[in-house]
């Protein structure tokens, strides 16, 4: 069965790994969602969507980026500044995928909202729960023992370092 970039559906192992809904810097520009390819083959990111509605597919992401095995990508707004002094900066060479004026529909709510990552056909690849942001600058991160597709509240925890590690 063809899939993302010619990769079969069974090999699309892409997960929401980290969410920063309440950045220290300006909102919604500094919000981010980190994706992790936990599979063994590269995945084309073109046509994926990140939305905040269970019953509707968000507009597709337009990019030529490929995410290699065990690699991470940051979904960010067009105005995202990787050198914003108030934030931990992504590592040099981190893959930034700009998705428009904001993430989801109008930015991420600090009070929490569920997010859904979908493939170009609208199938859910991963989700994150509607956890409220612990405080500005702190991410929620996928638990080590969680199902990589799960959006259950127990699948995400507050960043153990009380921070954010975008792209690490």
The percentage of residues in the chain with a pLDDT greater than 70, rounded to a whole number, is 93
Banded model confidence at residue 10, pLDDT cuts 50, 70, 90: very low
Taking the chain, what is the end-to-end CA distance rounded to the nearest angstrom? Answer: 32
Instruction: Report if pTM > 0.85.
Output: yes
What the chain holds in terms of domains, given with CATH numbers, is: 1-142 (2.60.40)
β-sheet bridge partners, residue 96: 74
Share the mean pLDDT of the chain.
91
Banded model confidence at residue 11, pLDDT cuts 50, 70, 90: low
Contact 54, 118 (CB under 8 A): no
Which pLDDT score, from 0 to 100, does residue 9 have? 46
Nearest alpha-carbon partner for 31 in 106, 93, 126, 142: 106
How is 53-100 classified by DSSP, letter by letter?
-TTSPPPPP----EE-TT-EEEEE-TT--TT-TTSPPPPTT-EEEE-S
Please say if the pLDDT value at position 99 is more than 70. Answer: yes
Q: What is the pLDDT of residues 55-82, one digit of tens each?
A: 888 999 999 999 999 999 999 999 999 9
Going by the DSSP 8-state scheme, the letter that residue 34 receives in this structure is E
Which pLDDT score, from 0 to 100, does residue 7 have? 45
Banded model confidence at residue 157, pLDDT cuts 50, 70, 90: very high
Rounded mean pLDDT, 13-26: 96
């Amino acid at each position: 069965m063809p899939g993302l970039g010619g990769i079969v559906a069974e090999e699309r192992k892409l997960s929401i790994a980290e969410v920063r809904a309440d950045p220290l810097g300006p909102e919604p520009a500094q919000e981010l969602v980190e994706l992790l390819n936990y599979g063994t083959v590269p995945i084309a990111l073109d046509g994926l969507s990140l939305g905040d509605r269970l019953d509707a597919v968000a507009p597709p992401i337009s990019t030529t980026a490929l995410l290699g095995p065990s690699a991470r990508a940051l979904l960010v707004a067009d105005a995202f500044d990787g050198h914003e002094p108030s934030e931990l900066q992504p590592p040099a060479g981190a893959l930034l995928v700009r998705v428009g004026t904001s993430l989801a529909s109008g930015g991420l709510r600090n009070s929490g909202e569920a997010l859904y990552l979908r493939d170009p056909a609208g199938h859910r690849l991963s989700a994150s729960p509607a956890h409220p942001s612990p405080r500005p600058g702190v991410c929620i991160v996928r638990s080590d023992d969680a199902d990589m597709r799960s959006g259950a509240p127990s699948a995400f925890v507050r960043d153990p370092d009380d921070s954010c590690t975008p792209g690490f």
